[in-house]
C-alpha cells in the first residue's frame, strides 16, 4: 500500500444560514416578566418558517452523510481519507448533491419575499424587517464544497529541519500514520459489524413473543456497506475482505420480506439470518479496539 498513490485527503465545507436570531429585547422582556435576571436566558426567534429550509437542510444532511460514508477517518482538522478506488463514487455523489443544492437555493431566494410575509404573521410583534439579510446576500449563505489534497509523505516535513532532527521526526510521522491507518481500518470493521449487529437485534421478539418491526433499510444499509467497503479497503486487509464477502452472501442477499410477517414470510429463513448475524457480529467484535499506544482524540 502506498498512501500517496492509492489515496487522497478530502475535506467538506457546508455553509448554512440557520434563519434564527437572538432577540435581546424579547429576552429582556421575558426576564422582567418572570422576575429573572436578564442573563438567565435567551429568546431565539425563527425568522422564517421551518418549511422554508426543509429541502436545503435535507440536501446538506445527505451531503454530510455521503461524505462520511465514502471516506475514512484521518485527522483532527477535518480531513478524511478518500481512496482512489472510491474517488468516482464520492465525486459523483457530492457533485450531484451540490447541483441539487444550487437549484434548491435558487428556489429559496425566489420565494424569500413570500417566506418573509409568512414570518410577519407568525412572529407578530416580534417581527422586524431589519432582521432579514438582503436577498442578494443569500447566495453566500448556503453552499456545499469539497477540497481534495494529496496525502503528504514524511519528506514534505523534513526539508527545513536540521539533520539531527530528521530521524526522530520520521519516527513520529510513521507512528502517527500507523495510528491513523489502524483507526481507519477499525472504522470499516465497526461500520460493517454494527450494521450486521442491528440486523440481528431487529430479528428478535418483544416480551410478548411478537417479532420486532424489521424495515427494508436494515438490509439496504448492509448492502450499501458491502458495496463500498471493498473500495475503501486500501489496506488490502484480507480478513476484512473475507468478512465482507460473507456478509454479502449471508445477509445482504436476503429479501427483507422473508424476514417479517408478510405473504413471503419464512420463519426458517428469519432464524437462519438471525443466527448468521449473531455469529458474524461476534467475529467483528475483536476489531473494535483502539490502536495500542494511539493518542486519545475527541470525536469530530
Check residue 294 and give its pLDDT. Answer: 40
Check residue 290 and give its pLDDT. Answer: 46
Which among 263, 285, 259, 287 is positioned nearest to 271, based on CA atoms?
259
Q: Residue 90 half-sphere exposure, CB side, CA atoms within 13 Å?
A: 28
Does residue 56 contact residue 137 with C-beta atoms inside 8 Å? no
Which among 87, 141, 153 is positioned nearest to 112, based on CA atoms?
141
Distance between CA atoms of 147 and 44, rounded to whole angstroms?
33
Check residue 32 and give its pLDDT. Answer: 85
Q: What is the pLDDT along the chain (300 residues), one digit of tens a residue?
A: 677 788 999 999 999 999 999 988 888 888 888 888 888 888 899 999 999 999 999 999 999 999 999 999 988 778 999 999 999 999 999 999 999 999 999 999 999 999 999 999 999 999 999 999 999 999 899 999 999 998 876 454 444 445 555 566 556 666 777 788 888 899 999 999 999 999 999 999 888 888 889 999 999 999 999 999 999 998 889 999 999 999 999 999 999 999 998 899 999 999 999 999 999 999 998 775 444 434 333 332
Q: 10 Å Cβ neighbour count for 288?
A: 12
DSSP label of 152: P
Check residue 174 and give its pLDDT. Answer: 67
Check residue 299 and give its pLDDT. Answer: 32
Strand partners, 21: 45
Q: 10 Å Cβ neighbour count for 81?
A: 24
Where does residue 149 rank: exposed (0-12), middle (13-18), buried (19+ CB within 10 A)? exposed
The pair phi, psi for residue 28, each rounded to 5°, is -65, -40
Q: Where are the alpha helices (DSSP H) in 38-86?
A: 54-69
Q: Residue 285 half-sphere exposure, CB side, CA atoms within 13 Å?
A: 8
Does residue 89 contact residue 231 with C-beta atoms inside 8 Å? yes
Reading the block at residue 37, the C-alpha cell is 435576571
DSSP secondary structure of 207-220: TTSPBPP--HHHHH
- Pairing mode of beta strands 80-83, 7-15: antiparallel
Check residue 295 and give its pLDDT. Answer: 39
Distance between CA atoms of 68 and 73, rounded to whole angstroms?
8
Instruction: Quick: pLDDT tens for 234-275.
Output: 888 999 999 999 999 999 999 999 999 889 999 999 999 999
Reading the block at residue 57, the C-alpha cell is 437542510
In the chain, the percentage of residues whose pLDDT exceeds 70 is: 88
Amino acid at each position: 500500500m502506498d498512501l500517496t498513490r492509492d489515496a487522497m485527503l478530502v475535506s467538506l465545507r457546508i455553509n448554512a444560514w440557520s434563519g434564527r436570531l437572538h432577540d435581546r429585547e424579547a429576552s429582556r422582556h421575558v426576564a422582567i416578566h418572570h422576575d429573572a435576571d436578564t442573563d438567565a436566558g435567551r429568546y431565539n426567534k425563527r425568522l422564517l418558517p421551518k418549511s422554508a429550509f426543509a429541502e436545503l437542510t435535507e440536501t446538506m444532511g445527505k451531503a454530510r452523510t455521503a461524505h462520511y460514508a465514502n471516506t475514512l477517518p484521518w485527522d483532527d482538522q477535518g480531513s478524511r481519507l478518500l481512496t482512489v478506488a472510491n474517488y468516482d463514487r464520492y465525486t459523483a455523489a457530492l457533485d450531484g448533491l451540490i447541483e441539487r443544492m444550487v437549484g434548491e437555493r435558487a428556489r429559496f431566494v425566489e420565494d424569500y419575499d413570500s417566506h418573509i410575509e409568512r414570518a410577519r404573521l407568525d412572529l407578530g410583534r416580534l417581527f422586524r424587517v431589519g432582521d432579514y439579510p438582503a436577498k442578494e446576500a443569500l447566495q453566500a449563505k448556503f453552499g456545499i464544497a469539497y477540497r481534495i489534497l494529496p496525502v503528504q509523505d514524511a519528506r514534505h516535513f523534513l526539508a527545513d529541519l536540521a539533520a539531527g532532527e530528521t530521524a526522530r521526526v520520521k519516527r513520529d510521522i510513521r507512528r502517527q500514520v500507523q495510528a491513523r491507518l489502524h483507526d481507519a481500518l477499525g472504522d470499516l470493521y465497526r461500520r460493517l459489524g454494527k450494521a450486521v449487529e442491528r440486523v440481528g437485534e431487529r430479528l428478535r421478539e418483544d416480551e410478548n413473543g411478537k417479532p420486532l418491526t424489521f424495515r427494508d433499510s436494515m438490509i439496504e444499509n448492509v448492502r450499501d456497506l458491502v458495496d463500498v467497503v471493498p473500495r475503501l479497503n486500501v489496506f488490502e486487509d484480507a480478513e476484512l475482505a473475507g468478512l465482507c464477502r460473507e456478509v454479502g452472501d449471508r445477509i445482504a442477499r436476503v429479501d427483507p420480506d422473508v424476514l417479517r410477517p408478510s405473504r413471503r414470510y419464512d420463519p426458517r429463513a428469519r432464524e437462519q439470518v438471525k443466527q448468521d448475524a449473531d455469529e458474524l457480529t461476534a467475529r467483528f467484535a475483536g476489531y473494535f479496539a483502539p490502536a495500542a499506544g494511539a493518542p486519545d482524540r475527541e470525536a469530530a
